[in-house]
Amino acid sequence: MQNVRFSVYQVGVFDNYINTTNMEDEKMKSEIIRLKKEKNAVILGHYYQRDEIQDVSDYIGDSLALAQKAQQCDNDIIVFCGVHFMAETAKILNPSRKVLLPDITASCSLAESCKGEDFARFKAQYPDHMVISYVNCSAEIKAMSDLICTSGNAEQLVRSLPEDQKIIFAPDKNLGGYINSITGRNMVLWDGVCMVHDAMKAETVIKLKIENPDAAVIAHPECNGALLQVADFVGSTKAMLNFIEKSNYKKFIVATETGILYEMKKNNPEKEFITVTAKEGCNCADCSYMKQNTLEKLYNCLLDETPEIVMDAAIIERAKLPIIKMLDLSKKLGIIK
């Protein structure tokens, strides 16, 4: 079958170019599935991706599960539907595969907040500290770290270290502050935040809770400390999904990125979910970086096998060490299999 090209920039139908506005999503999805088989590709999708991208993903997961999946893939091509640091992590863990990211400019406010030179200067101030970096950072920062964590394992990894171990935690001060508060540690924090979670306010949650007293408040640890204090449950995307499934509550006030609601609703059609936004009626609980990937970009990326994650071999080797350490420790602690 001849490949068609979907492009948001094309107007009208000529040669093999077809305007996306004329194409049904379903048609595009079946083309993606066909190309995926033809090219022996696998699509890994984060829970924050658009619903239609989640529909065509072979695996949907949080950053920890997807990193592990990427490591185990034996497909020729890994299409990572997430943001840049996630695709980079996939490449680091499985460098012989071609790793594609539908929109190569899909970044993350946390990764953006922590640049190599600045972090090297920061780190130099604490020569006797080990560095734990949240996976939401560039490969350059990972290469300067001793251990990587995700929101799904940060607490257990920190708890597994000797109590007198001095630690720098980067780049999320909210996640780091939360871990400090529950473990009694005093990790030195880099001053970065997730622009989506940090913008959600405790007052909004309190107002929603007053209006819905029968709802449980669940929050991602990237939210600010004031909000986390009014939450009934704090956990990573996967932990939130597990909590909802086991909970007797029928209603949930969800303080995290909206993409996850697709999976929450799919798994719990009888339960009700209320989103928390920074301002009333805004779509600021959508991560604009995560939503940069679209079905059209995914199709074109599979078709052209670009944009590709290309990395320096030395960075891959150095950045791999703390990621492998995280995966090994997570297995040892029983967090992952």
Q: Is 136 in the site for ligand SF4 (CB under 6 A)?
A: yes
> What single DSSP character describes residue 132?
E
Q: Among 49, 54, 57, 63, which residue interacts with ligand 13P (rule: CB under 6 A)?
A: 63
150 binds, among ligand SF4, ligand 13P, none (CB under 5 to 8 A by kind): ligand 13P
Distances from the Cα of 284 to the Cα of 220, 227, 257, 270, 279, angstroms: 15, 16, 9, 26, 8
Q: Is 136 in the site for ligand 13P (CB under 6 A)?
A: yes
Q: Where are the beta strands (DSSP E) in the chain?
A: 5-7, 17-19, 41-46, 59-61, 77-81, 98-100, 130-134, 147-149, 167-170, 188-189, 215-219, 233-234, 251-255, 272-275
What is the smallest separation between the CB atom of 121 and ligand 13P, expressed in angstroms?
26
CA distance 172 to 191: 7
Instruction: Spell out, one character per residue from 57 to 96, where the chain touches ligand SF4: x when CB under 6 A holds, - when not.
Output: --------------------------x-------------
154 binds, among ligand SF4, ligand 13P, none (CB under 5 to 8 A by kind): none
Tell me if the bond preceding 171 is cis, omega within 30° of 0: yes
Q: Which two tokens stand for residue 18?
A: 């077809």
Q: Which two tokens stand for residue 130?
A: 């080990």
Q: Among 178, 190, 262, 289, which residue interacts with ligand SF4 (rule: CB under 6 A)?
A: 289
What is the smallest separation between the CB atom of 210 and ligand 13P, expressed in angstroms?
28
CA distance 45 to 289: 14
Q: Among 257, 293, 320, 322, which residue interacts with ligand SF4 (rule: CB under 6 A)?
A: 257
Residue closer to ligand SF4, measured from CB, 35 or 264: 264
Residue closer to ligand 13P, measured from CB, 236 or 258: 236
CB under 6 A: which stretch of 16-24, 31-39, 177-185, 189-197 binds ligand SF4?
189-197
Q: Among 195, 244, 253, 295, which residue interacts with ligand SF4 (rule: CB under 6 A)?
A: 195
How many residues bind to ligand 13P according to rule CB under 6 A?
A: 12
Residue closer to ligand SF4, measured from CB, 78 or 135: 135
Q: Among 237, 258, 294, 300, which residue interacts with ligand 13P (rule: CB under 6 A)?
A: 237
C-alpha torsion angle, residues 176, 170, 325, 178 (rounded to 10)? 10
Q: Could you give phi then psi for residue 180, rounded to 5 degrees?
A: -55, -45
CA distance 173 to 189: 5
Residue closer to ligand 13P, measured from CB, 98 or 220: 220
Q: How many CB atoms lie within 10 A of CB 116?
A: 14
The answer to whether 173 and 187 have CB atoms below 8 angstroms apart is no
Residue closer to ligand 13P, measured from CB, 259 or 307: 259
Q: Is 103 in the site for ligand 13P (CB under 6 A)?
A: no
- Name the H helices within 114-229: 116-124, 139-143, 154-159, 173-183, 195-198, 202-211, 225-229
CA distance 89 to 84: 9
289 binds, among ligand 13P, ligand SF4, none (CB under 5 to 8 A by kind): ligand SF4
88 binds, among ligand 13P, ligand SF4, none (CB under 5 to 8 A by kind): none
What is the smallest separation between the CB atom of 287 and ligand SF4, expressed in angstroms?
3
Give the CB-nearest residue to ligand 13P. 62
C-alpha torsion angle, residues 79, 307, 192, 122 (rounded to 10)? 110
Contacts with ligand SF4, residue ranges (CB under 6 A): 48, 83, 108-110, 136, 194-196, 222, 257, 287, 289-290
Contacts with ligand 13P, residue ranges (CB under 6 A): 62-64, 108, 136, 150-152, 194, 222, 236-237
